[in-house]
Structure 1
Amino acid sequence: MSETFDWNPPTHYNFARDAIDRLAKERPDDRAMLWTDGSGAVVDRSFSELSDHAARAAAVLRAAGVRRGDTVLILMSREIEWWELMLACLRLGAIASPGTVQLTPKDIAYRCAAAEARCIVAGVDVAPRVDETPVDAAIPLVHIGGPRQGWTDYGEAKAAIEPLAEIADTAFDDPALCYFTSGTTGQPKMTIHGAGYPLAHEITGRFWLDLGPGDLHWNMSDTGWAKAAWSSLFAPWLMGAAIFVNHAPGFDPAAAMDLLERHPVTTLCAPPTAYRMFVRGDLAGRSFAHLRHCVSAGEPLNPEVIDLWKQATGLDIHDGYGQTETVLLCCNRPGAARQGAMGRPTPGIDLAVIGQDGALLPPNEEGDIALRVGEGRPPGLFLGYRGDPDRTASVFRGGWYLTGDRATVDADGYFWFVGRADDVILSSGYRIGPFEVESVLFEHEAVAESAVVASPDPTRGEVVKAFIVLAKGHLPSDKLAKALQDHVKAATAPYKYPRRIAFVASLPKTVSGKIRRKELRDAEFRDWEFRKADA
């Protein structure tokens, strides 16, 4: 595999035309997607069929009044129509704004107003909540899943319409994608990517996913998360690979492993939560005959999980790192993985750990993870936060884009994650990264998952608190809490052990499977303020 990545962006680019329609002409009968659902239905779609469905979807949106530059909210799960409609927006030069099916009417109303949406497309799970939302009656509604009063029936409209052959000749920086991402304060921000952003995912597809023609890639991410753009849309098809999709409610690790045994999935991208559930489940006797490469993203993966997965499958898990605002920035590449590390920067990406003054820090010194911004925008970097120039300016400093994450870099150039800047715990003058403590906790057989956060303390300022989900067969007790504390003391610096432990049934997570430490931390500090006021 080439170690270089030459970034010479064209003036105009349209992924639907320059990738999908090209493949439809060059390899019309090759598989583009293998889609399944919880009922056992299977759809095997070629590149020529994919192109035709996308062209018909574009015609449906055009008939609904969508024009170039309009924003379309796409509120769906893994229905096969999601891929058709994402491509349809690109074909029209419209701005696709995907959202999770977990959105509330309040969330939908905010997104509709903030993005100035000109159309809403929703599946059966979300449409009732859209109906509860006071959206402008002039905004057309398109329903996936059959007739619904007041909505255009997508299936019926698509069957009756001719494909729209026209494809917008979008400029490289024409807005094309709008992802809402939560910040530490205020409402979710709108991350805008240009029409050329998909092209930068060659970095993702080549250097991390290791994809090519003949591969079948399964990315388990929710479609409302930008990771779906990475690995369920742009990177696989840029590399000529096919995409595997399982549209089923919730996540069942046993059912997922059944699918890996039944279908010829060659590469797997799953969040750490899924891998933790796999290795704490029953992997004995499983055989994934086609699987050759595994990756994980969203948050760091515990070394113990990597060990257990390799013992059962013979495969490493290659951690990767990036953000909604970027493409892949850093990863453990095939043949060069270092257990527990984030990996090294990918070709084409100038990533570093810097100090407050913007200077590079020496090996093993903690600082801010930053992407160098030269004369031109780095491959895949977002255009900005829509309607918020101050927030956009706040993430740039001295020629760097600041990711908001903290890490160290070792002498070999591997990055080691510490935590979000606001996740780092400051206790009696010590800086403690939650991930290290969580990894040590997972090494104990009683722990299925944990989240480590700062908890206010009158003497130390903050102390480490661990919220722990127990593995099957273990019950909470003071004795177990003490055993877990002793385990951490023995495995890492004693000052890092959790002075407080709470056993919980589940942890709050984002749609991508990331643990919402901020939610737990905020609750700790709210409770502290309440107790102080009550005293």
Structure 2
Amino acid sequence: MSINADTANIGDYETTYRDFKLEVPEFYNFGYDTVDKWGEDPNHRAMLWVDEDGSERTLSYAYFRDRSNQVVNALHSLGMRKGDRVMIVMPRVPEWWESLLGMIKSGIIALPGTTQLTPKDITYRLQSSRARAIITDVENAPKFEESLPDCPGIDFRIIVGGQREGWLNFADLVDKAAITVSPEVKVQTSSSDPMLLYFTSGTTGYPKMVLHTHSSYPIGHYGTGTFWLDLKPNDLHWNLSDTGWAKAAWSSFFGPLICGAGMFVHNTKGKYSAKLTMDLLSKYAVTSFCAPPTAYRMLVADDISGFDTRHLRSCVGAGEPLNPEVIEIWKNITGHTIRDGYGQTETCLLVGNFPGMEVKVGSMGKPAPGYVVDVLDDDGNPALPNKEGDIGVRIKPNRPVGLFQEYWNNPEATNASIRGDWYLTGDRAYRDEDGYLWFVGRADDVILSAGYRIGPFEVESALVEHPAVMESAVVAKPEPTRGEIVKAFVILKPGIEGTPELVTEIQDFVKHLTAPYKYPREIEFVKELPKTISGKIRRIELRDQEKAKYQSEHQ
């Protein structure tokens, strides 16, 4: 991989944006070609890991080099081969990084998933991907076992952190494997070979599978780590994201590992605590911090003025729009401006506020080096300044390195995301006279709540399985802390009365049927839903209604 630019600093944004180019080699493997190179220094820190009980481990790049090699050999001994698919669901434990690196080295396609998935979610993902194996922890193994009768293609079950009948123990399997990979076992991966499958929610149907290659995320995230996160080899970078989300790939895996930075990882299963976050930032001298707007809102709502943030030099936020008020309060307390960024599961960082660049508070920033990003009008042409339109990424004549390859096994969805020479992100924005992009909203009905991307179809499907529910519509309702919450409009079956007790019952029902973060935090019982002539629910009408109510109440 070669870069045609001074990538050590983006202080001169215009020059860097103009000159930056990524040249993708024919063959590339992130594990062997990047992570292992940093491991040549046996003392180079890769991770400072802190468990819930306060126990600590410091792990080097050399450790991850050797341990991922052992994973390669262990998987090969089971008969796993390049192109096989493995679902990986774990909390923030080192084995997640070891496994993912080992799969990348093996040419095995990884399917990361959040620990909040339910058996129904897992069944869909295993069936859709035709996965051959599972790697998960003791706590999540029972959910997979509920899915297995409907997923006969699973050949291997590997468990981390304990023993369970019918499962191979990760430590037993990996510890005995060799720490070097022989030429007979080592595979060569083309830059265009498939590497990762992420599931992303949409407004219709179940989640789509986003396919990334051995170049699109590993090489594409060079700009994410270098330009936006601004990471250096001596940094200690903390990203709050759960391992199951693409944001972890951005900021807990490729971004920092590309730059040789150290990662701070706090393995907690408890409720988010602003005080604990500040305690850890201070105690462990974290230098770079990445968090969703919800976390920043909770932090500034607490009294965090007494904490030591002298080591902190870089703060970024992504996942949903960040309130200007939060940015100002955080800066007054810590001295640092939160630099907003924008991208998707399908992309690397597309737009950002970069170090050395003037930050317009509330703006997403400017296009990242390596991308042509613009706001398009209804005819597919760049819109005039301050005119709202669709966010588009130019893919012709040159396709950006950091763009996903396709929605796997879904050519209709892939084609629907293209308009002429542009890939459409599905979001709306406007561009000001200085080239800064300002987020307006989503072009579809996807709900962004506390950084989670929630498709209404999934929640509606769960709701109608409740015996009292006849029909439902799910939309985003504005909410100060989470940005948006899931609100459900529900038509009950004849003869059933809507009561507060029924609201709680339906909410609990949805929590057990799908991932808990998707449940409707507010339910309104209605007699009818707005629909088009063809019978489609007009969610936009309900969403606008909730937005108008919110604005009226907060004027």
TM above 0.5: yes
Maintained 8 Å contact 2:131/2:154: no
Secondary structure in 1 matching 2:115: coil
Question: Cα distance, 1:450 vs. partner?
Answer: 4.9
Q: Per the alignment, do residues 67 and 191 of structure 1 end up closer, same or farther by CA in structure 2, a change over 3 Å counting?
A: same
Gaps of 5+ in 2: 1-8, 11-15, 448-474, 490-506, 532-555
Secondary structure in 1 matching 2:439: strand
**2:23 aligned partner:** 8
- Normalising by the residue count of structure 2, what TM-score does the alignment of the two structures yield? 0.78
1:148 aligns with 2:164: yes
Return the letter of the residue paired with 1:178: L
Q: In structure 2, what is the Cα distance between the partners aligned to 1:277 and 1:324?
A: 25
Q: In structure 2, what is the Cα distance between the partners aligned to 1:293 and 1:527?
A: 47
Question: Cα distance, 1:168 vs. partner?
Answer: 2.2
Q: Per the alignment, do residues 450 and 270 of structure 1 end up closer, same or farther by CA in structure 2, a change over 3 Å counting?
A: closer
**2:484 aligned partner:** 451
Identity among equivalent positions (%) equals 47
**1:161 aligned partner:** 177
In the TM superposition, 1:438-517 aligns within 5 A as: 442=480, 448-451=481-484
1:285 aligns with 2:295: no
Which deviates more, 136-145 or 305-314? 136-145
Maintained 8 Å contact 1:37/1:248: yes
Q: Per the alignment, do residues 30 and 363 of structure 1 end up closer, same or farther by CA in structure 2, a change over 3 Å counting?
A: same
**1:199 aligned partner:** 219
Question: Cα distance, 1:163 vs. partner?
Answer: 2.5
Query: Per chain length, whose mean CA-contact separation is higher, i.e. which structure has more relative contact order (CA < 8 Å, sep 6+)?
Result: 2
Q: In structure 2, what is the Cα distance between the partners aligned to 1:527 and 1:181?
A: 30
Return the letter of the residue paired with 1:245: V
1:329 aligns with 2:350: yes
**1:339 aligned partner:** 361
1:23 aligns with 2:38: yes
Q: In structure 1, what is the Cα distance between the partners aligned to 2:153 and 2:219?
A: 37
Secondary structure in 1 matching 2:105: helix
1:406 aligns with 2:428: yes
Secondary structure in 1 matching 2:22: coil
Return the letter of the residue paired with 2:426: G
Q: In structure 2, what is the Cα distance between the partners aligned to 1:109 and 1:371?
A: 33
Maintained 8 Å contact 2:390/2:424: yes
Maintained 8 Å contact 1:326/1:381: yes
Q: In structure 2, what is the Cα distance between the partners aligned to 1:14 and 1:157?
A: 24
Secondary structure in 1 matching 2:219: helix
Q: Per the alignment, do residues 96 and 39 of structure 1 end up closer, same or farther by CA in structure 2, a change over 3 Å counting?
A: same
Maintained 8 Å contact 2:133/2:154: no
Secondary structure in 2 matching 1:234: helix
What is the CA deviation profile of residues 126-157 of structure 1, one whole-angstrom value per residue up to 9, with x for unaligned ones? 10111111232752000011111100000122
Maintained 8 Å contact 1:60/1:154: no
Question: Cα distance, 1:375 vs. partner?
Answer: 2.9
Of 341, 352, 366, the residue aligned with 2:388 is 366
Maintained 8 Å contact 2:130/2:153: no
Q: Per the alignment, do residues 279 and 49 of structure 1 end up closer, same or farther by CA in structure 2, a change over 3 Å counting?
A: same
Return the letter of the residue paired with 1:298: G
Of 208, 215, 240, the residue aligned with 1:189 is 208
Return the letter of the residue paired with 1:120: I
Question: Cα distance, 1:529 vs. partner?
Answer: 2.0
1:113 aligns with 2:127: yes
Secondary structure in 2 matching 1:311: helix
Question: Cα distance, 1:237 vs. partner?
Answer: 1.2
Of 258, 263, 271, the residue aligned with 2:284 is 263
Maintained 8 Å contact 1:418/1:424: no
What is the CA deviation profile of residues 112-135 of structure 1, one whole-angstrom value per residue up to 9, with x for unaligned ones? 111010110111221011111123
Secondary structure in 2 matching 1:406: strand
Q: In structure 1, what is the Cα distance between the partners aligned to 2:131 and 2:348?
A: 25
Secondary structure in 2 matching 1:110: helix
Q: In structure 1, what is the Cα distance between the partners aligned to 2:159 and 2:336?
A: 41
Maintained 8 Å contact 1:53/1:84: yes
**2:458 aligned partner:** none
Maintained 8 Å contact 1:5/1:203: no
1:378 aligns with 2:423: no
CA RMSD after TM alignment:
2.7
In the TM superposition, 1:28-427 aligns within 5 A as: 28-133=42-147, 134=149, 135-136=151-152, 138-165=154-181, 166-197=185-216, 198-250=218-270, 251-336=272-357, 337-422=359-444
Return the letter of the residue paired with 2:33: D
What is the CA deviation profile of residues 87-110 of structure 1, one whole-angstrom value per residue up to 9, with x for unaligned ones? 010110000110011111111111
Question: Cα distance, 1:50 vs. partner?
Answer: 1.2
**1:430 aligned partner:** none
Q: In structure 1, what is the Cα distance between the partners aligned to 2:391 and 2:282?
A: 38
Secondary structure in 2 matching 1:200: coil
Secondary structure in 2 matching 1:258: helix
What is the CA deviation profile of residues 493-535 of structure 1, one whole-angstrom value per residue up to 9, with x for unaligned ones? xxxxxxxxxxxx9xx99xxx9x97x9679x66x8362699xxx
Question: Number of matched residues?
Answer: 459
Gaps of 5+ in 1: 426-433, 443-447, 457-504
Secondary structure in 2 matching 1:120: strand
Q: In structure 1, what is the Cα distance between the partners aligned to 2:395 and 2:529?
A: 44
- Normalising by the residue count of structure 1, what TM-score does the alignment of the two structures yield? 0.81
